[in-house]
Amino acid sequence: MNDFNGLGPYKLDVLKEVGNIGAGNAATALSRLLDKPVDMAVPKVSLLPFEEIAEIVGGAEQTVIAVFLRVEGEAPGNMFFIIEEPSAKRMMHRLLSLEIREQEGYSEMELSALCEIGNILAGSYLSSLADFTGLSMMPTVPSAALDMAGAILSYGLLQFGEMGDSALLIETAFLEGRDMLEGHFFLIPDPGSFNKIFLALGVTSE
Amino acid sequence: MMEQQTVKVGMADLNIALNGALIRTSGLGSCVGVTLYDSVAGIAGMAHVMLPSSEIARESNFNVAKYADTAIPALIQAMENAGASIPRMVAKMAGGAQMFAFASQNDSMRIGPRNVESCKLALGQVSIPIRAEDTGANFGRTIEIDSATGKLTIRSVQFGIKEI
pLDDT in tens, B31-57: 999 999 999 999 999 999 999 988 877
Cβ–Cβ below 8 Å for B140 and A54 = no
Q: How many domains does chain B have?
A: 1
Contact B19, A140 (CB under 8 A): no
Residue ranges of alpha helices (H) inside chain A are 9-34, 50-53, 85-96, 108-133, 149-153, 158-161, 193-200
Domain contains B81: yes
CATH number at residue B78: 3.30.1330.200
Task: State whether residue B139 sits within 8 Å of chain A by CB.
Answer: yes
Write out pLDDT tens, residues A124-155: 888 888 888 898 888 888 888 888 989 998 88
Mean pLDDT in residue range A63-71: 87
- Residues in CB range of B80: below 8 A, 6 or more apart: B86
Interface check A63 vs B, CB under 8 A: yes
| Cβ distance of B11 and A164 shorter than 8 Å | no
Asked whether residue A74 is domain-assigned, the answer is yes
Domain that holds residue B128: 6-163
Is B107 near chain A, with CB under 8 Å? no
| CB–CB contact A151 B138 (8 Å) | no
Q: Say whether A161 and B66 touch across the interface (CB within 8 A).
A: yes
* Overall average pLDDT of the A109-122 stretch: 82
Do strands B22-28 and B6-8 pair parallel, antiparallel, or not at all (unpaired)? parallel
Q: What is the mean pLDDT of residues B65-81?
A: 94
Per-chain mean pLDDT for chain B? 89
| Bridge partners for A182 per DSSP | A175
| Distance, C-alpha A178 to centroid of its chain | 22
3-state secondary structure of B147: coil
- Residue A141, chain B, CB below 8 Å: the answer is yes
3-state secondary structure of A35: coil
Give domain status of residue B1, yes or no.
no
Residue B98 domain flag = yes
pLDDT more than 70, % of chain B: 93
Residue range A53-64: average pLDDT?
A: 84
- In a mutational test of the A interface, the residue from B100, B105, B115, B158 whose CB has the highest number of chain A CBs within 10 Å is B100
Which CATH number covers residue A190? Answer: 3.40.1550.10
Q: CA triplet A74, A76, A79: central angle to 5 degrees?
A: 140
A11, part of any domain? yes
Number of domains in chain A: 1
Q: Hey, what amino acid is at B60?
A: S
Residue A81 sits in which domain range? 4-200
Contact B16, B79 (CB under 8 A): yes
For residue A206, being part of any structural domain is answered with no
Closest Cα in chain B to A153: B29
With an 8 Å Cβ cutoff, are B100 and A148 in contact? no
Write the DSSP assignment of A75-92 as a string of letters. Answer: S-EEEEEEEEHHHHHHHH
